[in-house]
Amino acid sequence: MSFTLEETSIREIHAAYLSGQLTCVQLVQAYLDRISAYDQSGPALNAFVKLNPAALEEAAALDTKFATTRALSGPLHGIPVAVKDQAETKGIETRFGCVGLSGYIPEKDATIVAKMKAAGAIILGKTALPDFATSWFGYSSVNGETKNPYDLDRDPGGSSAGTGAAIAANLATVGIGEDTGGSIRLPSSFNNLVGVRVTPGLISRAGLSPLVVFQDTAGPMGRTVTDTAILLDTLVGYDPQDPYTTAFVIADHKGSYTQNLNPDGLKGARIGVLKEAFGSDEDPDCAQVNKVVRAAIAQIKSAGAEIVEVSLPNLMDFVVETSLYITHSRHDINKFLSSRPSLPYSSIDAIYKDGKYHKNLDLIDDIMTGPAHPEEDPAYYRKLAARDAFQRAVVKIMADNRLDSICFPPCQVLPPTREELRNGRWPVLGFPTNTLIAAQTWLPSICLPAGFTTAGVPVGIEMVVLPYHEPDLFKVGYAFEQATRYRRPPPSTPAL
């Protein structure tokens, strides 16, 4: 069989199905073999928290149908997907990263899971996340620590830690993450992946545990821009169960995001480089990130774009003022838990009291100091107003400079080492991630592989565009990918 599993894509898999080189059962079994070899043993990445016991059975059913019709059942026919355990999956234990919720088996799929199944996808398994997605790092009370497959002593980034490690290591074809402040893009940067955060509301959050409800969005993570575009086609849409999806109606997107995959998409584009998003060159970690990202920006210029340096001097003031984790998260998590009577706990307050969470998650400690209702915070409405001001400031930069996109490093430092995290170097709210810029201005963004340090540690680049302009993400993102091709698999998980 000429089909090669490692680094394969959705279109390559479908071509192999149609040519008779591959069956769904063979593909699923190949991924399960890699999970056994690399996730459960060997480097023991610890990316999956639960596998779908019916995955092979579902694959066999697709093969039987295909043998009769000789046609693919949908755009994700037979595509094994790793789903962050923040999304409810019918018949599969779902814990939202929290050991206190063990034993919960939903009777209904989250909307995005149902949409993927309807498109022919096979849910291969559920991936690790910090309890309730409350960290930039790969800690969880369910499974301990997830490792970065490029450097096993480093963190894979959170909160979509398991999905990031799994897709990077070729343990599934594509994956689902969820992003409140950067939880798709940070692990994408740390794991040499493509991750897309859309304008909140394009994708239904029904069936996903929240962190800051109007800032949350699920999204695709993959090894190529094309795969994330194909997956996003299935995920978007209006859902009566989630009133925020009126955003999809406003966006009025038609057709496939793959229509915007233009290898010449950077020719004539004006790309802003946000000065304040770069860390100090005096810091060794920041200096390594800056070197890789600046080299990537030089390649953007070589691909035909005009580079414009832009500045937002009060950037950090905006980021701090518009942060609503402590104000909002306790209320939003409690509302979600209390709406599901079959859960072992109905509030994060009770989980916290019983100590049923990972003790390294300092953001949970902070959240528990927040109000039971956001309106009880005297600064709440001021912070909401600041968000509009923050968005206007960024959009004004784009308007004044006629920019198609603004780019910067998703994080100012390299993925932290386990030793650094255990020594408390990085509290969550003090971690220098730039992913909050797009999250707290409701701007869509894409994280792309930008290269590696001399030691082989991945570094990403983030590109943001105007709200509801997701097609532009794929235009500039695909052109960058084709011009650079920085994606490469990790050495810790070679072909079996």
Closest CA relative to residue 439, chosen from 159, 82, 231: 159
CA 312 to chain centre: 26
Strand pairing category for 405-408 and 270-274: parallel
The active-site residue out of 140, 141, 159, 405 is 159
Based on the residue annotation, tell me whether 159 is a catalytic residue of this protein.
Answer: yes
473 to 10, 40, 69, 271, 491: CA distances (angstroms): 20, 35, 36, 12, 30
Task: Please tell me the distance from the alpha carbon of residue 293 to that of residue 459, in angstroms, as a whole number.
Answer: 8
Closest CA relative to residue 391, chosen from 402, 379, 406, 375: 406
SS3 265: coil
Which H or E run includes 274?
strand 270-274
Tokens describing residue 260:
């915007």
Contacts 24+ apart (CB under 8 A), 236-243: 236/198, 236/202, 236/203, 237/115, 237/203, 237/204, 239/111, 239/204, 239/206, 241/111, 241/204, 241/206, 242/111, 242/201, 242/204, 242/205, 242/206
The active-site residue out of 141, 183, 189, 204 is 183
Phi, psi of 447 (to 5 degrees): -105, 135
Based on the residue annotation, tell me whether 84 is a catalytic residue of this protein.
Answer: yes
Based on the residue annotation, tell me whether 323 is a catalytic residue of this protein.
Answer: no
Count of C-beta atoms within a 10 Å radius of residue 438: 27
363 to 302, 378, 413, 425: CA distances (angstroms): 42, 21, 20, 14
Phi, psi of 420 (to 5 degrees): -60, -45
Task: Please tell me the distance from the alpha carbon of residue 95 to that of residue 86, in angstroms, as a whole number.
Answer: 7
The active-site residue out of 84, 115, 147, 356 is 84
Closest CA relative to residue 43, chosen from 32, 51, 33, 35: 35
Whether the Cβ atoms of residue 437 and residue 323 lie closer than 8 Å to each other? no
SS3 33: helix
Mind telling me the catalytic residues?
84, 159, 183
